């Protein structure tokens, strides 16, 4: 399959060199090949805002039911119900509605004091240390503790669970895609079984108690396997992407010290700064969909059965939509960006991620108004689904 764009631009989501800074490649895609085809991995890609935003909404054409990760769609697996990221209506709406009842913005915002406590616990011992790591000391700690607190996972178990979930996202050293495992992991089984007889004020207990009408019209409660899938999904999503947001906060504000100093002087700018951070470096910049019918794009036909990669991270930098899109600006007025997706798969945890990002930045600035990155020891994470730092040490002294 060859598209007649006349461009030699090449995009590979598994290429570490491209992933280190994909924005130049994405800009070329937007300018030269707005509908792109990769012959090696057999996928199409859309990169402009005007294409990506409506495609995220058009679930009848671009389906999530076979997965939202390229290598998962290619496996053509029968996916278990309950992972709302990998579902289409009507089953998606039933499951999302159930989760929305236990994962409301009001409930998330109510835990702000707890999130501040988790940040303080990580940062206070480092005040006179001369530096810290935005990932190891904060990004890998606070989101883990927050989602663990919400789910009711004992703190002494949270770190090993996080490490096991993170390991499942990593690419092999050669960059080759690793087929993911989708199952009701037994990591959380003991906690679910304990909560059956020992209910508490946490999301796991709410999931156990929740009644809903399923796709057959039957009113029932979730099965054990369904709860395990929900808990796995919430734990993974609650850790990985927020960790990347914290890392990008450290990197970008080190590179823009004038804007960082503005934030030190005026904390009311922090919420808008978090939106710009999300726009500028989307923690989850690539979404994939199964093409359910022939669809026209830029004068070409994308056939039914194809995989379409939606580059929301590229759309966020589309100068056709955002003025001076490659400029980082904490004062930018953003009606919305695509870092949380759009449409029916808009991130259920967006309110929590925004809260965690805002609180983390505020707590860092309280203690460390100045920092610079130790680039010699910084390291990017290698996954095909999220993008950011595995290690981002900074000097503060």
Could you report the per-residue pLDDT of 162-221, keeping only the tens digit for each?
666 655 555 555 555 555 554 445 678 888 999 999 999 888 999 999 999 988 899 999
User: Does the structure show a pLDDT above 80 at 2?
Assistant: no
Q: What is the pLDDT of residue 184?
A: 44
Long-range CB contacts for residues 256-265, cutoff 8 Å, separation at least 24: 256/328, 256/330, 257/370, 259/328, 259/329, 259/330, 260/365, 260/369, 260/370, 261/369, 262/330, 263/330, 263/361, 263/365, 264/365, 264/369
Q: Are 204 and 103 in contact (CB under 8 A)?
A: no
Specify the higher pLDDT residue, 160 or 290. Answer: 290
Could you report the per-residue pLDDT of 17-40, keeping only the tens digit for each?
999 999 999 999 999 999 999 999
Distances (CA, A) of 185 to 141, 162, 190, 231, 235: 22, 13, 11, 9, 12
Q: What is the pLDDT of residue 152?
A: 87
User: Does the structure show a pLDDT above 80 at 379?
Assistant: yes
Q: Are 233 and 83 in contact (CB under 8 A)?
A: yes
Specify the higher pLDDT residue, 234 or 42. Answer: 42
Could you report the per-residue pLDDT of 290-312, keeping only the tens digit for each?
999 999 999 999 999 999 999 99
Lowest-confidence region among 77-86, 127-136, 369-378? 77-86
Q: What is the pLDDT of residue 183?
A: 46
Query: Where does the pLDDT of residue 76 fall: very low under 50, low under 70, confident under 90, or very high at 90 and above?
Result: confident
Closest alpha carbon to 298 in 13, 44, 40 = 44
Lowest-confidence region among 187-191, 288-292, 347-351, 353-357? 187-191
What residues does each domain of the chain span? 16-395
Average pLDDT across the chain, whole number: 90
Average pLDDT over residues 145-158: 85
Could you report the per-residue pLDDT of 267-279, keeping only the tens digit for each?
999 999 999 999 9
The radius of gyration computed from the CA coordinates of the chain, to the nearest angstrom, equals 21
Average pLDDT over residues 336-346: 95
Question: To the nearest whole percent, how much of the chain has pLDDT over 90?
Answer: 71
16-395 belongs to CATH 1.10.630.10:
yes
């Amino acid at each position: 399959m060859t598209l007649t764009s006349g461009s030699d631009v090449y995009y590979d989501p598994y290429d570490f060199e491209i992933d280190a800074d994909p924005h130049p490649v994405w800009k070329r895609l937007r300018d030269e090949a707005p509908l792109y085809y990769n012959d090696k991995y057999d996928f199409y890609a859309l990169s402009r805002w005007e294409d990506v935003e409506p495609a995220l909404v058009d679930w009848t054409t671009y389906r999530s039911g076979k997965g939202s990760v390229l290598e998962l769609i290619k496996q053509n697996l029968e996916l278990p119900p309950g992972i709302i990221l990998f579902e289409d209506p009507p089953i998606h709406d039933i499951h999302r509605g159930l989760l929305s009842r236990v994962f409301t913005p009001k409930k998330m915002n109510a835990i702000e004091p707890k999130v501040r406590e988790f940040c303080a616990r990580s940062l206070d011992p480092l005040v006179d240390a001369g530096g810290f790591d935005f990932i190891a000391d904060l990004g890998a700690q606070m989101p883990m503790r927050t989602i663990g607190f919400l789910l009711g996972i004992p703190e002494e178990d949270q770190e090993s669970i996080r490490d096991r979930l993170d390991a499942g996202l990593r690419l092999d050293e050669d960059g080759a895609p690793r087929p993911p495992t989708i199952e009701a992991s037994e990591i959380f089984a003991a906690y679910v079984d304990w909560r059956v007889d020992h209910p508490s004020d946490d999301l796991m207990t709410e999931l156990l108690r929740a009644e809903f009408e399923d796709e057959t019209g039957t009113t029932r409660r979730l099965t054990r396997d369904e709860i395990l899938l929900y808990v796995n999904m919430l734990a993974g999503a609650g850790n990985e992407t927020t960790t990347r947001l914290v890392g990008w906060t450290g990197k970008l504000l080190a590179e823009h010290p004038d804007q960082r100093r503005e934030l030190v002087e005026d904390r009311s700018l922090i919420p808008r700064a978090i939106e710009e951070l999300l726009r500028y470096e989307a923690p989850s910049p690539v979404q994939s969909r199964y093409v359910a019918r022939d669809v026209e794009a830029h004068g070409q036909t994308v056939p039914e059965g194809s995989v379409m990669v939606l580059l929301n991270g590229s759309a966020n930098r589309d100068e056709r939509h955002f003025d001076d899109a490659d400029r980082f600006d904490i004062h930018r007025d953003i009606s919305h960006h695509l870092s949380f997706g759009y449409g029916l798969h808009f991130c259920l945890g967006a309110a929590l991620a925004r809260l965690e990002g805002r609180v983390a930045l505020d707590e860092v600035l309280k203690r460390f108004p100045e920092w610079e990155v130790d680039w010699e020891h910084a390291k990017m994470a290698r996954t095909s689904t999220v993008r950011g730092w595995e290690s981002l040490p900074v000097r503060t002294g």
